Structure 1
Amino acid sequence: MFASFCRRRLLRLRRIPSAAGTNPSRPNPSDAFLSHGYSSSALAGGTVSEPCPATISYLVSCGLSPAAAATHKLRIRSTDKADAVRVLFRGYGFTDADITEIVRRVSLILTLDPDRILRPKLDFFATLGIKPRKLATTPLLLTRSLDKHLVPCIQFLRGILGTDGDLCYAITRTPRALMADLEKNMLPAVDALRRLGLPEKSISKLLTLEMGVLMVSTDRISQVFEDVKALGLDVTDTGFLYSFRALLCLSRETWLRKVALYRSFGVSEAELHMAFKTQPTILLFSDENIEKKLRFFLDELKLQQSELMAKPVLLASSLEKTIIPRCAVLSVLTREGMIDPNIKFVSALLGSAKIFSKRFVLRYAHDVPDVVKAYEGKITFEGFRDRDALVSQKQ
């Protein structure tokens, strides 16, 4: 089934050249800016064909490098207004780093009227609970019309998501999705999900997890929907939404490349199929990240590939923040004879940070202080002294 599914994706890739090497859920920021940002008169008054030395100097004072500042074809005619914009942002809790990020992404924002244009939008997002840091990563939102775009979109999303808490969470995860046009993008996307049989509760959960689906064409939504069902998942299955989200984020070329990467380590199609259905995020990491994790678990820890793929949550965990510190703790404890070297190793690596800390760190912190240092990354993990005995236990 998995091989057939991969072939289907490859055939679709040939039929739809525009999908190759692109992520349909990510629009070109420049196109969005020119289409939905400022009026033509405002653009004409603020942009220039060549860099303006005085403006470059001002952008440098905002934290940009001279080289980065020179790429902005902008003329700031009033530094007083630009200063007022920066003061306004600081008043709403934006840090200097946030303001630098805003200016780097959308320097023309310095030419907007701080009280008439920006303040109402900042008030609006503040009432929704959106933090300044998130707005700093998507400052184009502050160029959209409050009454004609932002308010109608929020009202529509509130009707689907239900609570303002879920709405804030969804926007915080994918703020760029609010750039989508209500009539052209949001409504058709939700209608497509309904037409394909996704229950209202599932649509709400999907948008909470990945609101970027609202920026995807209805054809793409239908294709991914079919792909997920081809994996043997029904809309009522727990993993359906997570698999749908994962495939939506991957172009078909990227999907096939990552499948080939796992296969190069000896992972069978059946193993990868089951692992993906259980933990779809294993295909969302970069190729380098996937390879690094596979080499660590298979080469360093000597796990069997079947054992690893049966617990794909290991591959979804951070090596640096979770797996390696835990291995360092277990290494210290086995070296000191505090735990049985035949411990069920994979089970020890799984579970929440709270459980692991209570079981292996706090329990032994008094007698073996090094476990605390190991857990904090202050003791380098260099493998297990009796690794073969430790990692050969089957779950």
Structure 2
Amino acid sequence: MLASICRRRRLLLALRQIPAGGEGSAASRIHPNASTVRLSHVYSLTDVAPNPKPCPTTVSYLVSCGVSPAAAAVRKVRIRDTDKADAVCALLREYGFSEAEVTRTVGNDPMLLTFDPDRILRPKLDFIIHSLGFPPRMIAAEPHILARSLDKHLVPCIDFLRGILGTEDKLRLAVSRIPRALMADVDNCMRPVVEGFRRHGLPEESISKLLFIHLGVVLMPLNRIAEAFEDLKELGMCSKETNFLYAFRVMCSLKKETWRRKVALYQSFGVSEDVLIRAFKTQPTMLLASEEAIKKKVRFFQDTLKLDLSRVIQQPMVLSVSLENCVKPRCAVLSILIRKGRLERKPNLIPSLVTNAKIFAERFVLKHADDVPDVVKAFEGKIKFEGFTEQELNFLNL
């Protein structure tokens, strides 16, 4: 089934590469989703350096802001008024930007340094930071939003998303995770996407949850949305299933080639297609990990913990959590407690590795912190896990 999806995707990709009106036609030049329009269409061409050579003054100024010389040299912008640029940086600091956030902001979008700080930028910062309560780091992550019109773009975007998400807290969380979503146009992107979800049978509550889970879906082309619904249908999933929205988020986040390689990677470790489909439907985010991360996790469970992969994949959530920040520190905690004889009964290893952090800490860390202080260091990742000893493996019955 997974193979058939991949083959169908390749065919669809090949068909889409054939221009509908012939080479050079308007149809072959215009992307159906307006969210792909580059920011160069927003800015005045007079602000962009016509000469590809870097402007020494601009490079020097960006470097003085903390931008690396290499990054500064490739920026196609000329800072003609350093006093105005200074005022922009001062304005960012006034609104609570740290020096690192100022550097990230002007490094990602140095064109902002050419804007009028009080007439153009201040009203947008008032709206985003003071009115909506977004932190400066959100703007630093996607500073291009400050180039969009406040009244014609930002306010309509926020109003539309507020109407879908329902609460200010959900709005702040969703946008903070994917700030680039605010670059999408309401009428050409957001509204058609939401209507597309409705046409595919998603109820309003599910649409709201999907946008909260991954607001980046508002940037998706409609044909990709339809394709994702079809792919999930072929995998035997329907929109009423608990994990459908997470599976949809994963399916839309992966390029076709990436999906195909990850499926092949799991199969190279002996995981059958049926088992992989079942695991994906249970824990869709297992396929969001990079191929290198998947290899490291599988080898860790097989070589270090001596676990059979068939046993691991029965609880696929363990393949979704961080190996370095979650799995290894918890293994280190359990190793210390076993050596010290503090565990009266054998813990169920894999569920212990994926349980809520608070629950794990209460059961294995806080309870023993006074008598065995090393468990705190291990939980914080300060004691490296080298693997269970033979005695510890026997205790865990691995």
Structure-2 residue corresponding to 1:232: 236
The offset of 1:297, in angstroms, is: 1.0
Structure-2 residue corresponding to 1:312: 316
Structure-2 residue corresponding to 1:113: 116
The offset of 1:288, in angstroms, is: 0.7
Which AA in structure 1 matches 2:108? R
Q: 2:298 aligns with which of 276, 294, 297?
A: 294
The offset of 1:187, in angstroms, is: 1.6
CA distance in 2: counterparts of 1:6 and 1:251, whole angstroms: 11
Which AA in structure 2 matches 1:378? K
Q: Retained in 1: the 8 A contact 2:229–2:248? A: yes
1:353-384 CA deviation, whole Å, 9 max, x = no partner? 11111111122222222222222223221111
Greater CA drift, 382-391 or 212-221: 382-391
CA distance in 1: counterparts of 2:7 and 2:59, whole angstroms: 52
Q: Retained in 2: the 8 A contact 1:328–1:380? A: yes
Structure-2 residue corresponding to 1:33: 39
Structure-1 residue corresponding to 2:168: 164
Greater CA drift, 286-295 or 383-392: 383-392
Q: 1:217 aligns with which of 218, 221, 224?
A: 221
The offset of 1:67, in angstroms, is: 2.5
Q: 1:47 aligns with which of 42, 46, 49?
A: 49
Structure-1 residue corresponding to 2:184: 180
Which AA in structure 2 matches 1:125? I
Which AA in structure 1 matches 2:46? A
Q: SS of 2:313's equivalent?
A: helix
Which AA in structure 2 matches 1:44? T
Q: Which has the higher contact order (CA 8 A, sep 6+)?
A: 1
CA distance in 2: counterparts of 1:374 and 1:182, whole angstroms: 48
5+ residue gaps in structure 1? 19-23
- Call closer, same or farther: CA 1:298–1:10 in 2, change over 3 Å: farther
Q: SS of 2:144's equivalent?
A: helix
Greater CA drift, 71-80 or 320-329: 71-80
The offset of 1:45, in angstroms, is: 4.2
5+ residue gaps in structure 2? 19-31
The answer to whether the aligner puts 1:328 opposite 2:332 as a matched pair is yes
The answer to whether the aligner puts 1:64 opposite 2:70 as a matched pair is no
Q: Retained in 2: the 8 A contact 1:46–1:111? A: no
The offset of 1:352, in angstroms, is: 1.1
Structure-2 residue corresponding to 1:21: none
Equivalent residue runs for 1:344-355 within 5 Å: 344-355=348-359
CA distance in 2: counterparts of 1:16 and 1:295, whole angstroms: 39
Q: Retained in 1: the 8 A contact 2:47–2:77? A: no
The offset of 1:7, in angstroms, is: 4.1
The offset of 1:27, in angstroms, is: 6.3
In the alignment of these two chains, the number of paired residues is 382
- Call closer, same or farther: CA 1:14–1:52 in 2, change over 3 Å: closer
CA distance in 1: counterparts of 2:336 and 2:148, whole angstroms: 56
Which AA in structure 2 matches 1:99? V
CA distance in 1: counterparts of 2:393 and 2:15, whole angstroms: 49
Which AA in structure 2 matches 1:163? T
Q: Retained in 1: the 8 A contact 2:58–2:79? A: yes
The offset of 1:182, in angstroms, is: 1.7
Q: SS of 2:293's equivalent?
A: helix
Runs of 4+ in 1 over 3 A off after TM superposition: 1-18, 24-28, 340-343, 390-393
Greater CA drift, 250-259 or 75-84: 75-84
CA distance in 2: counterparts of 1:295 and 1:149, whole angstroms: 48
The answer to whether the aligner puts 1:87 opposite 2:90 as a matched pair is yes
CA distance in 2: counterparts of 1:176 and 1:258, whole angstroms: 26
- Call closer, same or farther: CA 1:371–1:318 in 2, change over 3 Å: same
Which AA in structure 1 matches 2:136? P
Which AA in structure 1 matches 2:39? F
1:306-347 CA deviation, whole Å, 9 max, x = no partner? 211111111111111111111011111111222258442223
Greater CA drift, 198-207 or 384-393: 384-393
CA distance in 1: counterparts of 2:207 and 2:177, whole angstroms: 16
Percent identity, please: 55
CA distance in 2: counterparts of 1:197 and 1:67, whole angstroms: 49
CA distance in 2: counterparts of 1:25 and 1:275, whole angstroms: 33
Equivalent residue runs for 1:245-256 within 5 Å: 245-256=249-260
Equivalent residue runs for 1:120-199 within 5 Å: 120-126=123-129, 127-199=131-203
CA distance in 2: counterparts of 1:195 and 1:373, whole angstroms: 52
1:119-156 CA deviation, whole Å, 9 max, x = no partner? 01111111112111010111110000111111112222
Q: Normalising by the residue count of structure 1, what TM-score does the alignment of the two structures yield?
A: 0.91
Q: SS of 1:363's equivalent?
A: helix
The answer to whether the aligner puts 1:389 opposite 2:394 as a matched pair is yes
- Call closer, same or farther: CA 1:390–1:228 in 2, change over 3 Å: farther
1:159-195 CA deviation, whole Å, 9 max, x = no partner? 2112122111111111111111222211211111111
